[in-house]
Amino acid sequence: MDVGKELSAAIKEQEEPSGYSSACKRIFEQTYQDEVVGSYLALSNWSILFEPDLKLDLRSIVESFSINKCLILLSDGSIKGNRYLLMDDDRFALNLQGLSFFEI
């Protein structure tokens, strides 16, 4: 799922940024089913979720989603230690400590 496109479609009619956060959270409610993987969500173009105006606690969202579902994040970022860095920029980092993850 292309998060940028989904978010754009979800907020197209909204004039106030207050609804953007809930539109982002709805994206994580859309899951798919696979015989091997089980319930999962695969996201591309998800770096928009780092946008400060969205006021998202991305760590909490990822943590709560991935308790019993597989979350696949397609990204050009990198993992250093237990941190995901978008464009190697500390301002756009996601703490992965305590989460099970694989870098492919």
pLDDT for the residue numbered 13? 66
Transcribe 63-101 into DSSP letters.
HHHTTSSEEEE--S-EEETTEEEGGG-GGGEEE-TTS--
* pLDDT in the model for residue 73: 85
**What are the average pLDDT values for consecutive 10-residue runs of the chain, which has 104 residues?**
83 65 79 91 87 81 84 86 82 82 76
Structural Rg of the chain based on CA atoms: 14
Name the DSSP class of 41. Answer: E
How far apart are alpha carbons 49 and 4 in whole angstroms? 9
Residue 22, both tokens: 């809930």
What's the CA angle centered on 49, arms 70 and 23, to 5 degrees? 85
Domain range list for the chain = 3-75
pLDDT at 17: 58
The predicted pLDDT at position 101 comes to 77
* Euclidean distance between CA atoms 82 and 39, whole angstroms: 24
